[in-house]
């Protein structure tokens, strides 16, 4: 199983177009203090080498494909061709859906998501640009192993979705907390990705680390986990917003219930923060906060990073 990080930033990316905070400024300066990062997505290829699966379709997908030779048409392939055989969505956030609109050129692939996320696509007619004659939408059950297929057959990757604490997509919020937050779970999912020789968990959004999640990831080859904010109040403290991390559906890295502590002692071979917001000081290469997470055994995802398990 090969996992390639296409976008390690949260929605907005690093730098974010309208952000003048220190971290976006450093990313624009290009002196290596903060590496630029695209928005949230990974790609996976099974051991049989038959095509790639994208987990989430980032608004930056066009650039991600242009920067990744393995995702481009093979020199010997047909005039219209793509190694991208399937797309799996973990929620309906803009940073995970918008890239679908850039895959509308009548190319066959399978689109996998929960019924909840597929309903968002149905309700927004702009997604009809993905012609059902080419793009099959497949409902994924929760808590069941599913062998992924592309238009040409099995991809050698089995996934299992599981609900994690979270909320509906920001643009779907109604203001009714009972309906917006963990109403009956399943608005946001984690994915267990099994390529036969090892298991990787991909959880780019998660509001709380509970015992069920800890038990589930125990012993995995890698955990790619929600690194949106370092502290819960970070956005307000940076002066760029009012919401806490948890209010946005993202557990902070540190503080009470923070993810560094919550995932200690679980025999995880690799722990990597991904979906990192442009206010998070772990993005600053020399920062104390970066050192805090690396000392605790975590890596910080970068675009182009590859894991082989
Ligand atoms: C999130 O991860 O909280 C969302 O991507 C926010 C957004 O939709 O901008
Ligand atoms: Mn997001």
Tell me what the mean pLDDT of segment 166-191 comes to: 87
Q: Give me the residues paired with residue 2 across strands.
A: 45, 308
Q: Give me the residues paired with residue 86 across strands.
A: 53, 110
Q: Residues 37-53: pLDDT tens digits?
A: 999 999 999 998 889 99
Measured CA to CA, the distance from residue 221 to residue 171 in angstroms comes to 34
Measured CA to CA, the distance from residue 201 to residue 247 in angstroms comes to 23
Q: Which residues line ligand 1 (CB under 6 A)?
A: 10-11, 93-95, 170, 205, 248-249
Give the Å distances, CA to CA, from 42 to 45, 60, 64, 172, 226.
Answer: 10, 12, 10, 24, 13
Q: In this structure, what token pair is assigned to residue 29?
A: 């300066």
Nearest CA to ligand 1 atom 3: 248
Task: Determine the distance separating the centroid of ligand 2 and the alpha carbon of 205, expressed in angstroms.
Answer: 7
Tell me what the mean pLDDT of segment 188-199 comes to: 95
Q: Give me the residues paired with residue 49 across strands.
A: none
pLDDT band per the 50, 70, 90 thresholds, residue 183: low
Give the Å distances, CA to CA, from 84 to 57, 157, 187.
Answer: 11, 14, 25
pLDDT band per the 50, 70, 90 thresholds, residue 184: low
Tell me what the mean pLDDT of segment 204-209 comes to: 97
Q: Which of 56, 90, 93 to mutate to test the pocket of ligand 1 (most atoms within 8 A of CB)?
A: 93
**30 Ramachandran zone, left/alpha/beta (phi>0; psi -120 to 50):** left
Judged against a pLDDT cut of 90, whether residue 236 lies above it is answered with: yes
Total-model pTM: 0.98
Q: What is the pLDDT of residue 178?
A: 82
Measured CA to CA, the distance from residue 255 to residue 234 in angstroms comes to 11
Residue 169 Cα: closest atom of ligand 1: 8
Q: Residues 97-138: pLDDT tens digits?
A: 999 999 999 999 999 999 999 999 999 999 999 999 999 999
Q: Give me the residues paired with residue 142 across strands.
A: 161
């Amino acid at each position: 199983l090969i996992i390639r990080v296409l976008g390690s930033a949260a929605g907005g990316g690093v730098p974010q177009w309208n952000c003048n905070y220190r971290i976006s400024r450093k990313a624009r300066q290009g002196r290596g203090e903060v590496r630029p990062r695209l928005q949230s997505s990974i790609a996976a290829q099974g051991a049989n080498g038959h095509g790639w699966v994208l987990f989430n379709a980032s608004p930056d997908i066009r650039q991600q494909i242009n920067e990744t030779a393995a995702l481009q048409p093979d020199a010997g392939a047909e005039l219209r061709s793509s190694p991208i055989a399937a797309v799996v969505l973990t929620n309906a956030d803009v940073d995970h859906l918008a890239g679908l609109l850039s895959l509308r050129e009548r190319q066959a692939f399978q689109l996998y998501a929960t019924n909840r996320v597929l309903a968002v696509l149905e309700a927004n007619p702009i997604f009809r640009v993905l012609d059902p004659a080419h793009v099959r939408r497949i409902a994924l059950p929760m808590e069941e192993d599913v062998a992924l297929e592309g238009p040409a057959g099995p991809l050698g990757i089995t996934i299992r979705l599981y609900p994690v604490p979270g909320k509906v997509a920001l643009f779907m919020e109604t203001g009714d907390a009972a309906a917006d937050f963990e109403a009956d779970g399943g608005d946001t999912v984690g994915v267990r990705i099994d390529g036969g020789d090892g298991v990787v968990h991909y959880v780019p959004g998660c509001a709380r680390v509970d015992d069920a999640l800890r038990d589930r990831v125990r012993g995995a080859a890698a955990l790619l986990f929600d690194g949106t904010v370092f502290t819960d109040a970070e956005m307000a403290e940076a002066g760029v917003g009012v919401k806490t991390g948890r209010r946005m559906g993202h557990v902070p890295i540190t503080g009470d219930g923070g993810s560094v502590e919550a995932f200690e002692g679980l025999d995880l071979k690799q722990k990597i923060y991904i979906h990192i917001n442009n206010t998070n000081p772990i993005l600053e290469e020399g920062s104390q906060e970066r050192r805090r997470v690396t000392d605790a055994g975590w890596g910080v995802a970068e675009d182009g990073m590859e894991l082989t398990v």
